Structure formats: C-alpha cells, structure tokens
C-alpha cells in the first residue's frame, strides 16, 4: 500500500490513541512521520509501536509558537520537507458546570485545543506551500457540532476549530493546501476513560453504556476507525476536498 508514498506528515498529539494509530497507518502507507507530544517516554513508546525507521518524534508544546516552529523545521531537516499536518493534540478538561468551572482550566483547554491548532496552522502553512501544497487535517469532535452539559469549554474549543478550518481552507486554496476536520464520536482512548469517570464518578461503565446507546452503531470508535478517515484526507484521494467536516461518529449526530 502506498497512498502516502513520499509524503512527510507531522502529527501532534502523537503519543495518544488516535495519534499513534494515525502514525502507524500513515507509515504503512508510505509516509515519513514526525510524532509530536509533550511526554517523551510516551512518544518513545509510540515510535516503537509504529515500528519503523520512517517514524521519529519531537517533544514539543503546541501552545508555544517557538515549539511549533521547531517541530516543522525538524521535519524539514530530517525528511526534506512537510506535505501534511495532522493537528490532533487536545485535552478534555474537567466535567463541571459552567458556574463551577475553574477559569484557569478553561484557559488551559482553549490554549491546547484552539491556540495550539492556530499556531500549528501558522507554522505548517509556509512549509506546505514550499512543497507546492498539501493537506491539513484537524481533529475536532461530535462536540464540535453539538452541545453537551458539563464540558462547555471542550465543546467550545471543538466548535472553534471547525470555524478555524473553514477560514484556513479559503485562505489556503490558492496555495493548493486543503484543510478539513475529522469529528469523531467517543473513541476507545484514555480521554474517554477520564470523561466517563467525570460524568459518573465510580460508575464509569454505566456512563460508557449510556453513550454507546446513543450511537446507532452501538459502540465507541476504535482509534483505527478514525485514522482511516484521516488517511483519506491526507492522501491524494481527497484532492478536491477542502473546507469539509467529516463526521466519524457511527451515526451519533444523524
């Protein structure tokens, strides 16, 4: 398989479940991948899981402009350029009502989930332009198109990146750079374990069962389910697609 043959892709949130799955799939399809995260030991484990000399890592904080500049420069140095960017880093924040939500925690969610994407775009676009174009995929969520009680900052952040994507898609079209979001339903990852416990302390399994019942396909997504949609959008198979919201939600928002 070689749908990404010769392409270099930077993946933030590379040590998480979706980031790892995407890295492994992209490499299998011929890409060279730079996995980016704040946790070096988790990144080392992720690169070992990918199991290829076509993957490496960079420890960086997506909320730092300097770190964003460094990650793309490093991909350029190691692999000769950048063709794709998967803006996948994100945090869930707390499960609390708006009136009880801590302001610093709100800022933290916005910094990672919104500013992190903005800075990634800011530094990725010039590198993709030098290569004659490419593809940017932003991880949003079903929370990017619907509301949900108890997680207003997270919901707000995932709505925000949809708007950012649509603006970036129009700005970048003349540069032959496509920009889209993938909006997953709950996925079998650490983040969902945290949210389940937050929604129903001590009864996380019941919270999971309730959320699965709201999904027509009656299950959470696996990380690979989401990575396959991202593969399509990073590949030339989607060369006429930009400015689109791709729901990977098992019918949850139908």
Provide the annotated active-site residues: 154
Per DSSP bridges, beta strands 55-59 and 84-87 are: unpaired
CA–CA separation, 70 and 174 (whole Å): 26
CA–CA separation, 235 and 249 (whole Å): 21
CA–CA separation, 44 and 10 (whole Å): 16
Helix (H) or strand (E) holding 33: strand 32-37
* Token pair recorded at residue 223: 């990380």
Helix (H) or strand (E) holding 210: helix 204-213
* Region of 253 on the Ramachandran plot (φ > 0 left; ψ -120 to 50 alpha; else beta): alpha
């Amino acid at each position: 398989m070689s749908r990404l043959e010769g392409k270099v892709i930077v993946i933030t949130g590379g040590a998480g479940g979706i980031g790892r799955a995407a890295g492994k799939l992209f490499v299998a399809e011929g890409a060279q991948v730079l996995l980016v995260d704040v946790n070096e030991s988790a990144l080392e484990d992720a690169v070992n899981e990918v199991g290829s000399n076509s993957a490496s890592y960079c420890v960086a904080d997506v909320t730092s402009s300097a770190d964003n500049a460094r990650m793309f420069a490093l991909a350029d140095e190691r692999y000769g350029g950048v063709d794709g960017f998967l803006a996948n880093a994100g945090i869930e924040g707390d499960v609390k009502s708006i009136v009880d939500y801590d302001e610093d925690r709100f800022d933290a969610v916005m910094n990672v989930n919104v500013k992190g994407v903005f800075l990634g775009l800011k530094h990725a676009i010039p590198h993709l332009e030098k290569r004659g174009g490419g593809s940017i995929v932003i991880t949003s969520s079903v929370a990017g198109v619907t509301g949900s009680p108890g997680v207003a900052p997270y919901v707000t952040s995932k709505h925000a990146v949809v708007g950012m994507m649509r603006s970036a898609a129009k700005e970048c079209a003349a540069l032959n750079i496509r920009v889209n979001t993938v909006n997953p339903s709950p996925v079998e990852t650490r983040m969902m374990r945290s949210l389940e416990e937050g929604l129903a302390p001590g009864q996380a399994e019941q919270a999971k069962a309730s959320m699965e019942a709201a999904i027509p396909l009656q299950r959470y997504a696996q990380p690979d389910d989401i990575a396959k949609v991202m593969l399509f959008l990073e590949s030339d198979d989607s060369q006429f697609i930009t400015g689109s919201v791709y729901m990977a939600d098992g019918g949850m928002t139908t």
